[in-house]
């Protein structure tokens, strides 16, 4: 007589208990379930099967004077990463931004301690970068801390695969899909050129899901324009040389117009009748002189009133403004604040960089 089958939930419970007791190897169970779940993932999908990608490689070889066979083979070995397109999609509409939550992700004891060690190890390089490029140490330290926790998290995606995926399979539902796909194709082209010029194996480097590399997370175009050999060893290493990282980040900011001695922002208070629509219309682009700020209801501190250049009203939301205590935060951003946003086009990112650098400096007593 056949024994009656237990209900499904009982069978699952018994299986769990057996695994816990050692009757069934858990690894075998998980391996079997993985085989059932992802049979299609056993063989990676490479771009060797995509004629349009190989034609693109041939065009790049002609434009950049790269070896055609090498370029075609390199693109052909790039692997499609199915999770990367999803990571590029913006958050769902209606998601309230929250500066306090965002700040907490990047300004914490772990980063501050790591930043203090980084600063102490590299005092001479940071001081030299300040002298040569005009960029204060706290800005450089803030960037490297926010980007990779001073090299602790530089990304686990193969750069070639990430750039190829976003070049040929950028998500079409993205609101700026055409422009963004063109951007990543240019970055992939820059990457191939960089590898050919420096002798770097394009199959080896790991980075972010967007193809950013090293401690400062430079995209290939930024590497080509701004990365420098700051330690004088004859090569540029943004993964292992902290001096090269410091010099390159400072050079990046100088290239985008950093003004030595200019603050990044000033405190501001809004009057009850402030014209927020006008003040926020230019977004983060400095557009108002201090006198105009005052006319529109934005009250500046004395240093802000003495500022000679344009300013932008920076709004940092703190969640749903209808909830008590969630009033947005505001600062008056200068042209140097705008330069920080050229690293990542976000006022939240810029403030995290600035405030992390300040916290590390305070921890050191600098």
Phi, psi (deg, nearest 5) at residue 51: -55, -35
What single string gives the DSSP state of each residue in 210-274? T--BTTTTB-HHHHHHH----S-SSS--TTT-HHHHHHHHHHHHHHTT--TT--SEEEEEE-TT-
In the 8-state DSSP scheme, what is residue 332? E
In the 8-state DSSP scheme, what is residue 152? T
> Element (H or E) spanning 292, and its range?
helix 290-295
Token pair for 135: 């960029």
| Residue 26 near residue 19, CB atoms below 8 Å | yes
Could you say which of 138, 147, 187, 242 is catalytic?
147
Residues 6 or more apart in contact with residue 160 via CB below 8 angstroms: 74, 77, 78, 191, 202, 203, 205
Does the annotation mark 147 as catalytic? yes
Pairing relationship of beta strands 206-207 and 312-316 according to DSSP bridges: unpaired
Matching residue, tokens 């140097």: 336
In the chain, the N- to C-terminal Cα span, in Å, equals 82
3-class SS at 358? Answer: helix
Q: Which residues are catalytic?
A: 147
């Amino acid at each position: 007589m056949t024994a009656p089958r237990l209900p499904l939930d009982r069978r699952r419970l018994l299986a769990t208990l057996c695994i816990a007791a050692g009757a069934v190897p858990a690894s075998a169970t998980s391996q079997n379930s993985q085989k059932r779940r992802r049979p299609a993932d056993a063989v990676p999908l490479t771009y060797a099967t995509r004629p349009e990608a190989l034609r693109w490689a041939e065009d790049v070889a002609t434009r950049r004077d790269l070896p055609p066979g090498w370029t075609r083979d390199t693109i052909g070995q790039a692997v499609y990463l199915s999770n990367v397109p999803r990571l590029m999609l913006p958050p769902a509409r209606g998601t309230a931004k929250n500066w306090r939550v965002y700040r907490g992700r990047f300004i914490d004891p772990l980063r501050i301690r790591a930043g203090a060690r980084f600063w102490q190890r590299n005092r001479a390089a940071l001081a030299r970068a300040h002298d040569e490029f005009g960029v204060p140490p706290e800005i450089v330290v803030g960037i490297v801390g926010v980007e990779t926790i001073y090299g602790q998290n530089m990304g686990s995606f193969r750069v070639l695969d990430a750039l190829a995926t976003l070049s040929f399979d950028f998500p079409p539902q993205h609101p700026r899909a055409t422009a963004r796909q063109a951007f990543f194709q240019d970055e992939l082209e820059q990457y191939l050129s960089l590898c050919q010029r420096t002798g770097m194996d394009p199959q080896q480097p790991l980075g972010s899901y967007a193809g950013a590399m090293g401690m400062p997370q430079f995209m290939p175009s930024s590497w080509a324009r701004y990365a420098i050999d700051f330690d004088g060893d004859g090569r540029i290493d943004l993964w292992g040389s902290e001096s090269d990282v410091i010099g390159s980040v400072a050079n990046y900011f100088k290239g985008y117009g950093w003004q030595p001695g200019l603050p990044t922002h000033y405190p501001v208070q809004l009057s009850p009748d402030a014209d927020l629509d006008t003040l926020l219309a230019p977004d983060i682009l400095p557009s108002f002189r201090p006198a105009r700020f005052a006319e529109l209801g934005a009250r500046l501190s004395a240093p802000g009133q003495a500022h000679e250049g344009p300013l932008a009203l920076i709004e940092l939301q703190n969640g749903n403004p209808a909830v008590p205590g969630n009033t947005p935060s505001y600062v008056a951003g200068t042209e140097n604040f705008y330069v920080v946003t050229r690293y990542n086009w976000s006022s939240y990112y810029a403030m995290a960089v600035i405030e992390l650098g300040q916290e590390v400096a305070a921890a050191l007593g600098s």
